[in-house]
């Protein structure tokens, strides 16, 4: 999770599930990959920016839905380090959004963490 100037970095999903909806940049950890390195890799693949991964913001459970399996979502605080913002990999678009003006959000875990931040914005800014 990257927050800059009170806005959170989101990606619009190109693929199902949640096609066309917005989520935090995310993906799967490859076999043998450190979850922090996976998080940084996924952010770069989806948004073009590079981040420094910080502390764990939360660990969330995303229950199975339809054909999708249950997942454990680890959300890290991240700091923008460089790169150029652009949609990549499986993202249609990417951008920073004010916490009080978010686009349609795709996953329960993303909604949950964004709700937590809106309730306690001082921890995110």
Residue 76's domain comprises 3-118
Q: Give the DSSP letter of residue 18.
A: S
pLDDT tens-place string over residues 8-44: 999 999 998 889 999 999 999 999 999 999 999 999 9
0.85 cut: is pTM over it?
A: yes
User: Would you list the DSSP string of 73-99?
Assistant: EEEEEEEEEEE-----TTEEEEEEEET
- 71 falls within a domain: yes
Instruction: Round the average pLDDT of the chain to a whole number and report it.
Output: 92
Q: What total of structural domains would you count in the chain?
A: 1
**CATH label of the domain that carries residue 8:** 3.90.79.10
Q: What is the pLDDT of residue 124?
A: 53
Q: Which of 3-12, 49-58, 84-93, 115-124 has the lowest mean pLDDT?
A: 115-124
| Better-predicted residue by pLDDT, 54 or 68 | 54
- 113 falls within a domain: yes
């Amino acid at each position: 999770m990257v927050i800059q100037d009170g806005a959170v970095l989101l990606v619009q999903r190109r693929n199902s599930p949640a096609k066309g909806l917005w989520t935090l940049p995310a993906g799967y950890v490859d076999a043998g990959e450190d979850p922090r390195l996976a998080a940084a890799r996924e952010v770069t693949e989806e948004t073009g920016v590079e981040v420094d991964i910080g502390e764990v913001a939360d660990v969330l459970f995303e229950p199975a839905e339809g054909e999708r399996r249950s997942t454990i979502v680890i959300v890290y605080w991240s700091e923008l380090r460089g790169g150029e913002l652009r949609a990549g990999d499986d993202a249609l678009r990417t951008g920073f959004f004010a916490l009080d003006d978010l686009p349609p959000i795709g996953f329960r875990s993303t909604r949950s963490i964004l709700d937590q931040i809106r309730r306690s914005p001082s921890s995110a800014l």
